């Protein structure tokens, strides 16, 4: 049995997400397992997923991760996140309606600039 060389522990998960290409085209996918540094994702056709894409974790795109494909199988891909969970403000997977209510408030300087 080979030693697991992952940098962080992976957790099994079943969560619907979307792979968004730079062109704006979205492809639905299913996260199979996830760690702080990457994920295994089930897709319909791995060849149709670009090497770099944005993984949208909510339908409105508020929760997202920049991804780089590190391996491919016909219906699965392995990705490395460009930022760690800590740097991405520790994204939590929740249903879309709850995600908006849990988003952090804007900093006072940002709130003033937006008025």
Mean pLDDT of 89-114: 42
Q: Which residues pair with 55 in a beta bridge?
A: 19, 65
Predicted pLDDT of residue 10: 84
Model confidence, pTM: 0.67
- Per-residue pLDDT tens digits for 45-95: 999 999 999 999 998 889 999 999 999 999 999 999 996 444 555 455 544
Q: Does domain 11-113 fall into CATH 2.40.10?
A: yes
Instruction: Tell me the HSE value of 11 on the side-chain side, using a 13 A CA sphere.
Output: 7
The string of DSSP codes covering the chain is -PPP--SS--EEEEEEEEEE-TTS-EEEEEEEEE-SSEEEEE-S-GGGS-SEEEEESSTTSSSEEEEEEEEEETTEEEEEESS-TTTTT------HHHHHHTSPPPPHHHHHHT-
Give residue 1's pLDDT band: very low, low, confident or very high (50, 70, 90).
Answer: low
* Domain segments of the chain as ranges: 11-113
Predicted pLDDT of residue 6: 61
């Amino acid at each position: 049995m080979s030693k697991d060389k992952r940098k962080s522990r992976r957790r099994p998960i079943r969560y619907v997400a979307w792979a968004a290409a730079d062109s704006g085209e979205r492809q639905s996918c299913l996260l199979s397992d996830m760690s702080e540094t990457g994920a295994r994702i089930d897709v319909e056709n791995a060849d149709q997923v670009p090497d770099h894409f944005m993984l949208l974790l909510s339908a409105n795109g508020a929760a997202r991760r920049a991804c780089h494909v590190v391996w491919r199988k016909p219906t699965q891909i392995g990705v490395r996140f460009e930022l760690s969970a800590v740097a991405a403000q520790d994204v939590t997977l929740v249903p879309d309606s709850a995600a908006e209510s849990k988003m952090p408030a804007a900093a006072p300087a940002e709130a003033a600039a937006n008025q």
